[in-house]
Chains A and B, each alone.
Chain A
């Protein structure tokens, strides 16, 4: 029982808080955005197929 343990809590947070805040913020800044692309003409018409599934044959 020979220690002022609350000081250790404080030291923990002095270390953890800035590291986590900085690493967290900068990695969030680096999050990727899904890129846009140029589709050749004629492609969208194909992907626009029938959604009717009632007919299975």
Chain B
């Protein structure tokens, strides 16, 4: 919830997270190297450098596959929220592994020759007009550039200075990067290696990731379709007061394409934007903890009545006016400026059948 830019704001969960990421990544590479060197048929192992290049490439792709499943999985079950919490460290780990893959491949295959290695990367295979012959190196390079920009701007400093929508749009380039990496593998290793395991695993990873995103996204699309019917001006009928679970919210679409999170905390109801100030996290899927709306993604907090983070923090989100009339909760679709105090609607606990 902080606005002070420290390199990393450590806490116990982040340390456990990072140790697990480091341990599993290190173990993956180690097992790959030992297996590759020890168990080749005919006693002919690949040379250790090429084996290492492959281990790094496989690891980076596996990490990115895991990273891309976390978002939709967290939408399907809150059990995956702990993985989402420190996801950017997973991303930075992936970038470091991908850098090592890129650097070592550039050195081993392209250095020490009659051309500049970076020139060789693009001209040594000139078959840009062929599909199976296409220089897969260039696809990996473009994906690496995207990942580099993402890693370089991964800190919250950039998130704030680029603004959340620009930052999110920039980071959405990871999807084309993933598609490029799939093609980098298909047009590279899969053109040579004979085992069916590789196309099955690569295709399986891609279908799993895209399937999860499409499944989770379909739900969002249906919800957004609900908005089209909301052309009417004036206050919006959201639900009955006690349809909202205590300390939680109901998310309602608004006519202009935004979403409002209507929270109930005891006998009071307040409404705020559904988008967290931090990374546009879904506030309405969070809950009220210690009197504050708490984002399920990274735990940023806001007071329900005015949308301001509790001191010492100063983040503000838009609030919406709420009223209860004839047993229904109504929201004014016009957002108040971020941090505007509103009067919570009070539930008549007598009248409501508890």
Contacts and interface: CB of A to CB of B under 8 A. Distances in A.
Chains A and B directly touch (beta carbon < 8 Å): yes
Given A2-B258, A16-B179, A27 B218 contact: no
Interface stretch (B16-24, B164-172, B228-236): B164-172
Contact of A32 (B132, B134, B203, B273): B132
Contacts of A27: 131-132, 134, 183, 186-187
A57 interface: no
B168 A5 contact: yes
A4 B259 contact: yes
Interface in A20-37: 20-21, 23-28, 30-32
B187 A3 contact: no
A6 B217 contact: yes
Contact of A31 (B165, B172, B190, B256): B190
Which residue of A8, A26, A30, A31 has the most chain B CB atoms within 10 A of its CB atom? A31
A24 B203 contact: yes
The majority secondary structure among interface residues of chain A is: helix
A26 B186 CA distance: 10
Interface string B208-219: 001101100110
Query: For chain B, which range describes its interface: under 10, 10 to 19, 20 to 34, or 35 or more residues?
Result: 35 or more
A4 B191 contact: no
Interface string B254-283: 001111000000000000010101001000
Contacts of B186: 24, 27-28
B172 A9 contact: yes
Nearest to B338: A1
B221 interface: yes
A17 interface: yes
B85 interface: no
B210 A17 contact: yes
A46 interface: no
A10 B186 CA distance: 24
Nearest to A16: B179
A1 B224 contact: no
Given A1-B280, A13-B214, A19 B179 contact: yes
B191 A13 contact: no
Given A1-B273, A3-B165, A13-B175, A31 B257 contact: no
A3 B253 CA distance: 11
B207 interface: yes
B206 interface: yes
B213 A25 contact: no
B69 to A, nearest CB: 12
Given A7-B220, A10-B221, A20-B183, A28 B199 contact: yes
A18 to B, nearest CB: 9
A50 to B, nearest CB: 20
* A-B CB proximity, top 8 nearest: A10-B217, A17-B210, A30-B132, A13-B213, A20-B179, A6-B220, A1-B275, A24-B186
Interface of B: 71, 131-132, 134, 164-165, 168-169, 172, 175-176, 178-179, 182-183, 186-187, 190-191, 199, 202-203, 206-207, 210-211, 213-214, 217-218, 220-221, 224, 253, 256-259, 273, 275, 277, 280, 317-318
17 contacts: A1-B164, A2-B257, A2-B258, A3-B165, A4-B253, A4-B259, A7-B220, A9-B71, A10-B213, A10-B218, A16-B175, A16-B178, A17-B211, A24-B206, A26-B131, A27-B187, A28-B186
